[in-house]
Structure 1
Amino acid sequence: MTSPQEELLPGTRRALLHRIAVAQREGRAPSLVAAVVREGRAVWSGARTSVEGEVPDGDVQYRIGSITKTFTAVLVLRLRDEGLLDLADPLEKHLPGTGVGEVTVVDLLAHRAGLAAETPGPWWERTPGSLRPGLADVLGERPLVHPVGRRFHYSNPGYALLGALVEKLRGAPWADVLRREVLDPLGLHRTTVEPVAPHAGGWAVHPWADVMQPEPLENLGVMAPAGQLWSTTGDLARFAAFLAAGDERVLSAESVREMRTPAAPAEAADVADGYAYGLGLELRHQQGRAFVGHTGSLPGFLACLTISLADDVGAVVLANCTSGPAPFTVAADLVRIVAEAEPRVPAPWRPLHKADSAVLDLVGQWYWGTYAFGLRLSADGLLALEPLSGKGRRSRFRPDGDSGWVGLEGYYAGEALQPVRRPDGTVSHLDLGSFVFTRQPYEEGAPLPGGVDAEGWRGLP
């Protein structure tokens, strides 16, 4: 049987090892571990350490910081899918008395609730959670620093509220619900609230000298849903596969896809950096690739899980230092190395098993005014509308009702595409959100707003 380490070519494996070796040395990390996932399976893992003879493997725990938020978001989406809440519900409906009850569940998931980024002092990541026993202690006297729903502003207390929401609706501690509903079904048995040996220690490396000191390891209390978890590259590789495809035991592919969809207004600086936020997931663009996942940090630890869905390759990077290697940059490079050295082999083209003649009537060339578009039916049963110039609005459409279709992305997401037929059954035109698409530009007799000039097309007088 081929081992995971043998599934990549020797040159690819060497390039991956070289990348993490450079990251560990230049980032001055006491240790750094990484894994690569392809087509839903771990296909490579590697590690570098400053301690000779003690190289950590995929079973050694590191603290993963804010990757915890993605786990908490999964729990909230499960509540939604079971009908126990709506994402548009105000928090007050389910968790009264917080003082910020007007914010909605989706506002909290997408960091657009206007809440402060951190708790009132002291620094919550380096102090015991017992100093903040209740939600009032993590919200403080001025919990809102921006208008609700107006802008993306990352908030750790927001995810403490979501954890409390999970506890209220499940009637059990957040950690117990997480174990029962996510960790056990996915087989993430090395992901825990408290460290379980073997685990790395957290270190602070002096910025101007090659010396270190240990960081305190605190239980975060009510802030745990924002950053408490410990995990391994092995477990996070499995979690990455789940975030790419879903798992009906935990969350459907459709709901996971919803998590990966931008849900917060982006700031100008975020747009420039190629950064957006979905529901518990960071969305990034780097060197022409789209990535989805999350980064994490707590004193003594850095972490990243990221996936390129187009390449079907993901990467996990964990290090035990407060600052040093940039985990997303390293993880994105690991994805790039595999995707470029061993590009994904596409599945064979296969035709539809059955073609509906009424749908075939729709395919081909259409015009919106003088803009030319092509409408194509694919083997997955979707219609794809694309500008023939290569530039402009495009979208795929799924069937919706007897003869209509609904847009799935871009400008036409959620918009209705309705074929309009003549009395003899032939297609007259397409109505797409009130836009009329015809077989010829400004086709005579078509129901175009403003009509068609009686003299038709002509040259200069």
Structure 2
Amino acid sequence: MLADCRDYGLPGMATATRDAAGASASAYTDAGFTDATLFEIGSISKSLVAIAIHRLVDDGRLALDAPVQPIVPDLPLPDAAITLVQLLDHAAGLPDGAPLFPPVPGGRLWTGYAPGARFSYSNTGYMLLGAVLEAAAGQPFAVALQRLALDPIGMASSVPVLRAADRDRFATGHMMAFPARAARPHAPLAVAPWVDMDDPAGSVGATMPDMARYMAFLAAAANGQANGVLSPRATRDFAMRDGVADPEAAPDARYASGLIHRVMAGRRVIEHTGGMFSFCASMTIDLASGAGCFAGTNVSLGGYRPRRISREASRALAGLPPADAPLAPTPFAIPADWKGAGRWIAANGDVLALDRGGCSFAGKSAGLWSGGSGLVTDHPALADWPIETDGDGLWWRDRRFMRSRPAPAQPTPPALAALEGVYVTNDPWYAGGIAVIARRGALHIAGVGALAAHADGSWRFDDPALACERFWFENIVGGRPQQLNVSGNLLRRAAHRRDW
């Protein structure tokens, strides 16, 4: 805990642990944190939503394999039948973050592939499960989740949704002070604004003692033991089902009902992480021993999650020696197989020098880390954009760097140049905005991937793993769109390409 706070500039951390004998404990790096302090657990909330759904299946109010459309007939859902189990396992083909009433052409949700075909993480899917939960339970989501999941498990000090009335009970959340810049260790931080959250994809705030109780419940359920909450059949369906392959987590991972199942260093574990815009967390449970660890920190710092802490602690609590190989990648560490060291030259002769110790550009040296889709640096001239690898070269913004000096770039086609820009919103989930840029005659979302135009007027990623997302350029003024519609989330243009 202390090492991660020191190495990455985290404001604080809390852990809940449970050893092989069933003894639980809490630990905190901040004297202001206590057993009554709430932490946002993010997407770890999904498994609690799944428990509530499985309890309603137990009661005969829902069926896992039944289509959800008749349960929530007023929602503008796709025509293709989507079942509860597909939603629970992220296999419905829905986009990741679209609202349930998306302001898109046609006004309906869509699927990127046939429901049930494969895994694609979808917060929208769990938002839909929340609507199903309300309809089947006949109660508001917060009341139903409290009654069906938190109370039966014994999480009496936790809250089902994030509300300003409970703000004083939470650790103070933090975010990057300059959110438009790529995340890196020791990035300047600021206290994050409070935002109420009742989205079932990640709405729970929990204390450390309650997370220890939850891990005890999960360990028992995943081993088929009576738990007093779910019937034997529902226990199997919730915690022991094979689910779908989750290659985003690991080659051997399976995802079912809000939990990742995998083998790690020869041990079967269940785990999940959570990322909010001012908190993040990781939970790992060793199934053979029942030992587990939840680690949460009150900051959002790019892709950082305290996986190493939860994984190594759960193994130690099981009475096992350290694994032969690291159980989690070191956050922000440049991969061992990285081949980008050396000199890179732009068309105008500028030289970018990279090595594992940092980067040098325009006479100044700075740090260099792995982050997102490429490398990030705190160099004052380069900090706003990632350095991305593409084939035999690098991209920084729209500038190409090669081992030998490249030819000057061809002019961007006017139709694409009109779409380029930075698009922003007050929504904290899009802090820093989205940059749209043209490279080699193709449109890109910076740091993510290339887009292609489709006959229905939408733009979509070339990468099949991102096939569920849709983009529309809207509100054209003077030939330039003033709004970017990202799967139903509206961002306004903040800068033209010439202003970068």
TMscore range, shorter length = 0.5 to 0.7
In structure 2, the residue matched to 1:100 is: 78
**Shift in alpha-carbon separation, 1:227–1:188, aligned structure 2, 3 A:** same
Tell me the CA shift for residue 37 of structure 1. Answer: 0.9
**Shift in alpha-carbon separation, 1:85–1:55, aligned structure 2, 3 A:** same
In structure 2, the residue matched to 1:38 is: 19
The 5 A counterparts of 1:437-452 are none
The 5 A counterparts of 1:120-269 are 135-137=100-102, 141-192=108-159, 193-194=161-162, 196=166, 197-205=168-176, 207=184, 209=186, 211-221=188-198, 224-246=199-221, 248-261=227-240, 263-266=242-245
In structure 2, the residue matched to 1:317 is: 295
Tell me the CA shift for residue 91 of structure 1. Answer: 0.8
Greater fraction of residues in strand: 2
In structure 1, the residue matched to 2:277 is: 299
State the distance in 1 between where 2:319 and 2:54 align: 34
1:44-92 deviations in whole A, cap 9, x for unaligned? 321213xxxx341332111111111111100110111111121110112
Alpha-carbon contact 2:101-2:109 (below 8 Å) kept: no
**Shift in alpha-carbon separation, 1:108–1:230, aligned structure 2, 3 A:** same
Alpha-carbon contact 1:152-1:266 (below 8 Å) kept: yes
In structure 2, the residue matched to 1:74 is: 51
For the residue of structure 2 that corresponds to 1:114, the secondary structure is coil
Counting aligned pairs with the same residue, the percent is 31
For the residue of structure 1 that corresponds to 2:272, the secondary structure is strand
Tell me the CA shift for residue 261 of structure 1. Answer: 3.4
- 1:117 and 2:96 correspond: yes
With 296-305 and 198-207 compared, the bigger mean Cα shift is at 198-207
For the residue of structure 1 that corresponds to 2:245, the secondary structure is coil
Greater fraction of residues in helix: 1
Q: If the length of structure 1 is used for normalisation, what is the TM-score?
A: 0.61
For the residue of structure 1 that corresponds to 2:284, the secondary structure is strand
Larger radius of gyration: 1
For the residue of structure 1 that corresponds to 2:48, the secondary structure is helix
In structure 1, the residue matched to 2:316 is: 337
**Shift in alpha-carbon separation, 1:321–1:271, aligned structure 2, 3 A:** closer
1:278-326 deviations in whole A, cap 9, x for unaligned? 1221123322222113211101101122211112201111101102753
**Shift in alpha-carbon separation, 1:201–1:268, aligned structure 2, 3 A:** closer
With 236-245 and 262-271 compared, the bigger mean Cα shift is at 262-271
State the distance in 2 between where 1:338 and 1:208 align: 28
1:321-353 deviations in whole A, cap 9, x for unaligned? 10275322210110112223599xxxxxxxxxx
State the distance in 2 between where 1:267 and 1:185 align: 29
1:400-445 deviations in whole A, cap 9, x for unaligned? xxxxxxxxxxxxxxxxxxxxxxxxxxxxxxxxxxxxxxxxxxxxxx
**Shift in alpha-carbon separation, 1:142–1:316, aligned structure 2, 3 A:** same
2:253 to 263, 270, 275: 275
2:7 to 9, 26, 37: 26
Which runs of no fewer than 5 residues in structure 2 stay unpaired?
Answer: 178-183, 323-500
For the residue of structure 1 that corresponds to 2:45, the secondary structure is helix
**Shift in alpha-carbon separation, 1:271–1:306, aligned structure 2, 3 A:** closer
In structure 2, the residue matched to 1:437 is: none
Q: If the length of structure 2 is used for normalisation, what is the TM-score?
A: 0.56
Tell me the CA shift for residue 165 of structure 1. Answer: 0.5
In structure 2, the residue matched to 1:456 is: none
Alpha-carbon contact 2:25-2:212 (below 8 Å) kept: no
State the distance in 2 between where 1:262 and 1:185 align: 22
In structure 1, the residue matched to 2:265 is: 287
For the residue of structure 2 that corresponds to 1:94, the secondary structure is coil
Tell me the CA shift for residue 240 of structure 1. Answer: 1.1
In structure 1, the residue matched to 2:36 is: 59
Which runs of no fewer than 5 residues in structure 1 stay unpaired?
Answer: 1-19, 120-131, 344-461
State the distance in 1 between where 2:141 and 2:248 align: 34
State the distance in 1 between where 2:220 and 2:121 align: 26
**Shift in alpha-carbon separation, 1:62–1:270, aligned structure 2, 3 A:** closer
Tell me the CA shift for residue 164 of structure 1. Answer: 0.5
RMSD over aligned CA atoms reads 2.5
Tell me the CA shift for residue 151 of structure 1. Answer: 0.7
In structure 2, the residue matched to 1:129 is: none
